[in-house]
Chain A
Amino acid sequence: MSMRLFRFKNHSVLPGFGLTLGITVLYLSLIVLIPLSALFLKTATTTWAQFWGTITDPRAVASYRLTFGTSLVGALVNAIFGFVVAWTLVRYRFPGRRILDAAVDLPFALPTAVSGIALTALYAKTGWIGRWFDLWGIQTAFSPLGVAIAQTFIGLPFVVRTLQPAIQDLDAGMEEAAATLGAGRFQTFSRVILPFLLPAMLTGASMAFARALGEYGSVVFISGNMPMRTEISSLLIVAKLEQFDYAGATAIAVVLLVASFALMLSINLVQWWFSNRLGREAA
Chain B
Amino acid sequence: MSPADSMGRRDPVWLRALLIAVAVLFLGVFLFLPLLTVFLEAFRKGVSAYFASFNDPAARSAIVLTLVSAGIAVPCNLMFGLFASWAIAKFEFKGKSILITLIDLPFAVSPVISGLIYVLLFGMQGWFGPWLMAHHLQIIFAVPGIVLATVFVTFPFVARELIPLMQEQDTDEEQAAISLGASGFQTFWRVTLPNVKWALLYGVILCNARAMGEYGAVSVVSGHIRGKTNTMPLHVEILYNEYNFVAAFSVASLLALLALATLAAKALLERRLQAAPSAVGLGAEDQLA
Does B associate with A? yes
A283 to B281, CA, bound (A): 13
Among A103, A117, A214, which residue has its beta carbon within 8 angstroms of that of B249? Answer: A117
Is B248 in contact with chain A by the CB < 8 A criterion? yes
Query: Contacts A81-B26, A165-B277, A241-B116 given: A17-B255 contact, CB under 8 Å?
Result: no
A220 to B117, CA, bound (A): 20
Is the CB–CB distance between B112 and A214 below 8 Å? Answer: yes
Which B residues are in CB contact (< 8 Å) with A5?
A: none
Which B residues are in CB contact (< 8 Å) with A64?
A: none
Is B68 in contact with chain A by the CB < 8 A criterion? no
Which B residues are in CB contact (< 8 Å) with A283?
A: 278, 285
Is the CB–CB distance between B7 and A91 below 8 Å? Answer: yes
Among A9, A21, A122, which residue has its beta carbon within 8 angstroms of that of B33? Answer: A122
Is B23 in contact with chain A by the CB < 8 A criterion? yes
Nearest residue (CB) in A for B34 is A118
Mark A193-204 against chain B: 1 for CB-CB distance below 8 A, else 0: 000000000011
Is the CB–CB distance between A14 and B233 below 8 Å? Answer: no
Is the CB–CB distance between B34 and A119 below 8 Å? Answer: yes
Is the CB–CB distance between B24 and A100 below 8 Å? Answer: yes
Is the CB–CB distance between A11 and B117 below 8 Å? Answer: no
Is B196 in contact with chain A by the CB < 8 A criterion? no
Is A138 in contact with chain B by the CB < 8 A criterion? no
Is A75 in contact with chain B by the CB < 8 A criterion? no
Is the CB–CB distance between B288 and A207 below 8 Å? Answer: yes
Which B residues are in CB contact (< 8 Å) with A23?
A: 80, 83
Which A residues are in CB contact (< 8 Å) with B259?
A: 106, 109-111, 114
Which B residues are in CB contact (< 8 Å) with A55?
A: none
Nearest residue (CB) in B for A153 is B30
Which A residues are in CB contact (< 8 Å) with B106?
A: 32
Chain B contributes a number of interface residues (CB within 8 A of A) equal to: 110
Is A278 in contact with chain B by the CB < 8 A criterion? no
Is the CB–CB distance between B31 and A106 below 8 Å? Answer: yes
Is the CB–CB distance between B37 and A121 below 8 Å? Answer: yes
Which B residues are in CB contact (< 8 Å) with A238?
A: 112, 219-220
Is the CB–CB distance between B113 and A257 below 8 Å? Answer: yes
Q: Closest CB-CB distance, A196 to chain B, in whole Å?
A: 13
A229 to B125, CA, bound (A): 31
Is the CB–CB distance between A9 and B117 below 8 Å? Answer: no
Which B residues are in CB contact (< 8 Å) with A246?
A: 119-120, 123, 125
Is the CB–CB distance between A129 and B29 below 8 Å? Answer: yes
Q: Closest CB-CB distance, B124 to chain A, in whole Å?
A: 8
Mark B104-135 against chain A: 1 for CB-CB distance below 8 A, else 0: 01101111110011111101011100000000
Is B61 in contact with chain A by the CB < 8 A criterion? no
Is the CB–CB distance between A128 and B37 below 8 Å? Answer: yes
- Interface SS of B by simple majority: helix
Is B90 in contact with chain A by the CB < 8 A criterion? yes
Is A237 in contact with chain B by the CB < 8 A criterion? yes
Is the CB–CB distance between A111 and B215 below 8 Å? Answer: yes
Which B residues are in CB contact (< 8 Å) with A249?
A: 116
Is the CB–CB distance between B188 and A16 below 8 Å? Answer: yes
Q: Which of B108, B117, B171 has the most CB of A within 10 A?
A: B117
Which B residues are in CB contact (< 8 Å) with A153?
A: 30-31, 34
Which B residues are in CB contact (< 8 Å) with A11?
A: 90-93
A33 to B284, CA, bound (A): 23
Which B residues are in CB contact (< 8 Å) with A226?
A: none
Is A273 in contact with chain B by the CB < 8 A criterion? no
Which B residues are in CB contact (< 8 Å) with A51?
A: none
Interface of A with B (CB < 8 Å)? Answer: 8-11, 13-17, 19-21, 23-25, 27-28, 31-36, 38-39, 42, 81, 84-85, 87-94, 98, 100, 102-119, 121-122, 127-129, 152-153, 156-158, 161-162, 164-165, 167-168, 170, 172, 175, 185, 203-204, 207, 210-211, 213-217, 221, 234-235, 237-238, 241, 244, 246, 249-250, 253, 256-257, 260-261, 263-264, 283
Q: List 21 A-B contacts (CB under 8 A).
A: A9-B171, A10-B92, A11-B93, A13-B175, A15-B183, A31-B155, A87-B19, A88-B20, A106-B263, A111-B252, A114-B256, A117-B38, A157-B281, A168-B276, A207-B288, A216-B110, A221-B240, A238-B112, A241-B119, A244-B125, A260-B110
Pairs A-B, 10 closest by C-beta atoms: A214-B110, A111-B213, A91-B8, A15-B184, A161-B281, A216-B216, A161-B284, A217-B215, A113-B233, A35-B117
List 19 extra interface pairs beyond A128-B33, A128-B37, CB under 8 A.
A11-B91, A14-B90, A17-B90, A21-B91, A24-B83, A25-B99, A85-B23, A106-B259, A114-B236, A114-B259, A118-B252, A121-B37, A121-B41, A214-B112, A216-B111, A217-B111, A237-B116, A261-B108, A283-B278
